Amino acid sequence: MKIKYLLLLIVIVISVFIIYNHNYTKKINILSINSLNEQENYNNHLSNYLNKSNLNYNFNVDYTNDQLEIENLIALIEKNNNEFQSIIHESDVIIMSLGNVDIKVENYKTIIKELQELFKKLRLINSKEIIFISPYKLKNTTSIKDICHKYNIYFINGSSFINKSELLAQMIYRKIESQYNTKK
């Protein structure tokens, strides 16, 4: 009699496990950090793509500011304002478009140095997918590509998407969707 109850309990536990695994979908946390103005910003288009999809996601755009400089983001990480390091750590995908403000006030070497410092800090906090979109008005992106490669960051040449934010959003969405599908 005890063996029958034990077998029934095992069957129930296995059934629950199978049903849970079949129906469980991981929520993908997406963090967008960018310094793009409203016309160039991909967030609205990306949000539309995500809404139309069957992805279970959380899309955080709290760190979008058209005056955001790379050094300010580094300071934000170091100070851990609003538990920013935790937000970075919990993100499955981080999308960054930075340097658009910096390019107006700093030289190329300074921007490269700041990006290297930023990427190093991000990789200490998060080992998951990071997508970096280079500054839109920057013609020479070779050094940035090399730094992205060094830190295993997916590079997108921003100058190819000037006034094409919907196309950029579509490209980012495809990357996120492929990342999500490998986690299922």
Percent of the chain with pLDDT over 70: 93
Q: What is the pLDDT of residues 30-41, one digit of tens each?
A: 999 988 777 778
CATH of the domain spanning 26-183, picked from 3.20.20.70, 3.40.50.620, 3.40.50.1110, 2.160.10.10: 3.40.50.1110
pLDDT at 17: 78
pLDDT at 56: 82
DSSP structure string for the chain:
-HHHHHHHHHHHHHHHHHHHHHH--PPEEEEEEE---TTT--HHHHHHHHHHS---EEEEEEEE-TT--HHHHHHHHHHTGGGHHHHHHH-SEEEEE--TTHHHHS-HHHHHHHHHHHHHHHHHH--SEEEEE--TT-S--HHHHHHHHHTT-EEE-GGGGTT-HHHHHHHHHHHHHHHHHHH-
Q: What is the mean pLDDT of the chain?
A: 86
How confident is residue 91, by pLDDT bands cut at 50, 70 and 90? very high
How confident is residue 182, by pLDDT bands cut at 50, 70 and 90? very low
pLDDT at 155: 95
How confident is residue 181, by pLDDT bands cut at 50, 70 and 90? low
pLDDT at 183: 44
pLDDT at 148: 95
- What is the reported pTM? 0.82
pLDDT at 18 over 80: no
Q: Where are the domains of the chain?
A: 26-183
Lowest-confidence region among 92-96, 162-166, 167-171: 162-166
